[in-house]
């Protein structure tokens, strides 16, 4: 059996922003999904949280009201802990992602965007957009250049750009300087979660015209 090891991880910029709670929701979904699959990045996250804990510990106290403890005890008495609903054990996505797209690949509401490529946009708030992409084997992602950071997490299958290969669990992080053409590997379709900081700019005229319509 082939052992699949994650080679491409969430970088420290993103991890620090995620740990400190300063990452737009769309990126946080992808980071949380990656951590769900990757022990290395879970360790990195806990370590970044430690810095936050120390900074909290270093705070100069700001007095709370004299009745604050009693009010808190009242809150405890009237509230009950929110128990997390157990997910069925067999789901197609990491849990944080299934909160947005459901549990099964079969029920995704895909929109075709040409050349067999399909997308489904997640409902997130903030400055960034997250979408599931379905790319048939051997098919290219639409040719684009980036503005802002783009993060792509492979959920199924694999893709490669000019220099590197990205398999299940791998994260590709590209910035404005990247101008590449990822192609899905042969075999099975590649399904990934792509997060963009700003709308992708397509270089081809056709895409430039329809870009506002399909929001890619």
Partner 1 sequence: MKRIQTKIDPNEIRRRIRGMSVITKSFIVECTSLFEIGRATHFDSAASTGKAVKLVEKTESPPSSLWVEEFELIQRHKSVKAFGRLFTHFAPKIKAFLMKSGTDAAVAEECAQEVMATVWHKAHLFDPTRASAATWIFTIARNKRIDAIRKLKRPEPENLDWGPEHELDQEEAVGLQQETAKLGQALAKLPEKQRMLVERAYFKDMSHSEIAAATGLPLGTIKSRIRLALERLRHSMK
Candidates 6-14, 111-119, 134-142, 202-210: pick the segment binding partner 1 (CB under 8 A): 6-14
User: Closest CB to partner 1 among 113 and 159?
Assistant: 159
Considering only residues 94, 157, 182, 189, which one is a binding residue for partner 1 as defined by CB under 8 A? 94
Our finding on whether 115 is near partner 1 (CB under 8 A) is: no
Q: Which residues ranging from 21 to 80 are in contact with partner 1 (CB under 8 A)?
A: 21-22, 25, 28-29, 31-33, 35-40, 42-65, 68-69, 71-73, 75-76, 79-80
User: Closest CB to partner 1 among 196 and 211?
Assistant: 196
Q: Give how many residues touch partner 1 by CB under 8 A.
A: 73
Smallest distance, Å, CB 103 to partner 1? 10
- State the DSSP code for 131: E
* Nearest C-alpha neighbor of 167 from the set 148, 187, 149: 187
Q: Which residues ranging from 152 to 181 are in contact with partner 1 (CB under 8 A)?
A: 155, 168-169
- What is the four-CA torsion angle of 101, 103, 108, 114, rounded to 10 degrees? 80
Our finding on whether 140 is near partner 1 (CB under 8 A) is: no
Smallest distance, Å, CB 104 to partner 1? 12
Smallest distance, Å, CB 102 to partner 1? 13
Sign, CA torsion 159/165/166/171: negative
Q: Which residues ranging from 182 to 211 are in contact with partner 1 (CB under 8 A)?
A: none
Considering only residues 3, 107, 162, 163, which one is a binding residue for partner 1 as defined by CB under 8 A? 3
Our finding on whether 109 is near partner 1 (CB under 8 A) is: no
* Nearest C-alpha neighbor of 130 from the set 6, 27, 11, 215: 27
- 114-136 burial code (b ≥16 CB/10 A, e <16): eeebbbebbebeeebbbbbbbbe
Q: What are phi and psi of 77, to 5 degrees?
A: -65, -30
User: Closest CB to partner 1 among 94 and 142?
Assistant: 94
Q: Report residue 212 CA to chain centroid gap.
A: 22
- State the DSSP code for 140: B
Q: What would the two tokens of residue 127 be?
A: 């400055």
């Amino acid at each position: 059996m082939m052992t699949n090891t994650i080679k491409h991880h969430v970088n420290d910029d993103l991890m620090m922003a995620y740990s400190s709670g300063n990452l737009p929701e769309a990126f946080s979904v992808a980071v949380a999904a990656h951590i769900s699959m990757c022990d290395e990045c879970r360790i990195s996250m806990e370590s970044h949280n430690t810095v936050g804990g120390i900074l909290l510990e270093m705070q100069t106290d700001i007095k709370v009201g004299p009745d604050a403890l009693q009010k808190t005890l009242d809150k405890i008495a009237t509230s009950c802990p929110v128990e997390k609903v157990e997910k069925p054990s067999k789901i197609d996505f990491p849990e944080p992602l299934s909160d947005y797209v459901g549990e099964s690949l079969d029920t995704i509401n895909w929109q075709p965007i040409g050349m067999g490529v399909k997308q489904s946009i997640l409902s997130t708030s903030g400055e960034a957009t997250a979408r599931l992409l379905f790319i048939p084997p051997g098919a290219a992602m639409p040719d684009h250049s980036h503005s802002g950071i783009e993060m792509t997490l492979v959920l199924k299958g694999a893709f490669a750009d000019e220099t590197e290969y990205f398999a299940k669990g791998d994260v590709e992080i590209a910035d404005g300087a990247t101008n590449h053409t990822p192609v899905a590997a042969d075999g099975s379709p590649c399904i990934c979660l792509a997060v963009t900081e700003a709308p992708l700019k397509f270089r081809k005229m056709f895409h430039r015209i329809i870009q506002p319509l399909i929001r890619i």
